[in-house]
Amino acid sequence: MSGFVSFVSSGPGDPDLLTRRAADRLARADVVLYDDLSSGPILALAAQAALIPVGKRAGRPSAKQEAVNALILEHARAGRRVVRLKSGDAGMFGRLEEELTAVRGAGIAFEIVPGVSSVNAAAAEAGLPLTRRLTARRVQYLTGADVTGKLPQDLNWAALADPHAVTVIFMGQRSFPDLAAGLIAHGLPADTPALIAEAITQPGQRLRRGTVAQLAEALRRDGPSTAPALIFYGPLAAISDAAVEVLAG
């Protein structure tokens, strides 16, 4: 008898941003396989479940994707209700495709429970609309780290330097100084507004704004923080929120 797999989006960290469906699946789970970024207070909602960390976090040892796939199948084949908990929205930069392929290939029933991405939560915490009627007509999401952890080499520089697009970079703290140099070389003004959003809705949340050049300099000088962070740049609306620090320089 096969169980059932729910790929559940945990949101950015604050349990208030879980959907009701996500909370329901956690409460009824037999086993929860969770990432580093979806640990914390949310796990308390899975009161009856075995909790298994399978986290992947830059710079630390992590479970191999094949091992995660195998664990999902093992528990589902034992007839359990499996929750595969993924941070933010499960479909954004979370290796959902590999896990779906494994579950589909094994003929196991599944669902995907959508959620609040860290992008949406960060924009909300900063008081920042992601689009602007006349100046920001496009939003694009980019990973700042390819499979080797470095800046992807096949970037579409014209799109990334588009002055009418807001760009959001996941996992981009390390590579942003190099990315910024490339953007400026491809015509993006160095004084384009930028924002870095760390540990959104988690203890230690920090928001800083400045220009692309200032943020690149700060990250080159200080290195990446250990907190998860998103970087926004483009024709961002002016932010006057007291919770947002201003980058020096």
Ligand X SMILES: C[S@@+](CC[C@H](N)C(=O)[O-])C[C@H]1O[C@@H](n2cnc3c(N)ncnc32)[C@H](O)[C@@H]1O
Q: Characterise 112 by phi-psi region: left (phi > 0), alpha (psi -120 to 50), beta (else).
A: beta
219 contributes a contact to ligand X by CB under 6 A: no
At residue 176, what are phi and psi to the nearest 5 degrees? -60, -40
The token duo for 102 is 């494994």
* Residues designated as active site: 35, 56
18 contributes a contact to ligand X by CB under 6 A: no
Q: Do the bridges between strand 193-198 and strand 229-233 make them parallel or antiparallel, or are there none, so unpaired?
A: antiparallel
> 26, 199, 207, 216: which one contacts ligand X (CB under 6 A)?
199
12 contributes a contact to ligand X by CB under 6 A: yes
| Neighbour count for residue 214 (Cβ, 10 Å) | 20
141 contributes a contact to ligand X by CB under 6 A: no
Q: For ligand X, which is the closer residue by CB, 13 or 234? A: 13
Q: Output the residue with the shortest Cβ distance to ligand X.
A: 88
Q: What is the distance between the terminal CA atoms of the chain, rounded to a whole angstrom?
A: 62
Q: For ligand X, which is the closer residue by CB, 49 or 199? A: 199
140 contributes a contact to ligand X by CB under 6 A: no
Site for ligand X, residues 70 to 99, rule: CB under 6 A: 86-89, 92-94
> 76, 85, 197, 213: which one contacts ligand X (CB under 6 A)?
197
At residue 7, what are phi and psi to the nearest 5 degrees? -85, 110
Of 235, 190, 188, 237, the residue nearest 214 (C-alpha): 190
Binding site for ligand X (CB under 6 A): 12-13, 37, 86-89, 92-94, 117-118, 122, 170-171, 197-202, 228-230
